[in-house]
Amino acid sequence: MRNRSKIGFSGQAAIGLAALAGMFIFTVPQARADDDCQRETAKIDHKLHEAIEHNGPDSKQAEHWRHELAEQRERCWGKDHKWWDEDGHRWRTDHDWDDHDHDHDHDH
């Protein structure tokens, strides 16, 4: 009598592909969310640097972008409990950002 529980190569390949597709479905949206968070944070961070350079760290423009950056970090944190550190070029998993972290470069 033949063992019916054995699956042929094509069956095994189909199961493997289905598992891979399942992992891909859950991974791609997360990667896209990470990319969006990272890209938006980098854009706001750049605008803050420009505002500080052109108008000073205590300017209304710098304060506006400082506020925008804090809100963006909160959005990223709220979604994934991590935030993008543009200056360090890495994801951070501690809720430890400093809203005035960009001012330190201009204190001297």
Residue 100 maps to a domain: yes
As for how many domains the chain has, the answer is 1
The pLDDT of residue 107: 47
Structural domain includes residue 11 = no
Q: Confirm whether 87 is domain-assigned.
A: yes
Main-chain phi, psi angles of 90, to 5 degrees? -160, 160
Per-residue pLDDT tens digits for 34-91: 789 999 999 999 999 999 999 999 999 999 999 999 999 999 999 989 999 999 999 9
In a domain, 68, yes or no: yes
Confidence of residue 108 (pLDDT cuts 50, 70, 90): very low
Q: Is residue 71 in some structural domain? A: yes
In a domain, 30, yes or no: no
- Classify residue 94: in a domain, yes or no: yes
Give the domain range for residue 50.
Answer: 36-106
Coil, strand or helix at 98: coil
Record the pTM: 0.66
Higher pLDDT, 75 or 20: 75
Q: Whose CA is closest to 41, among 81, 69, 82?
A: 69
Evaluate whether 98 touches 74 at the Cβ level (below 8 Å): no
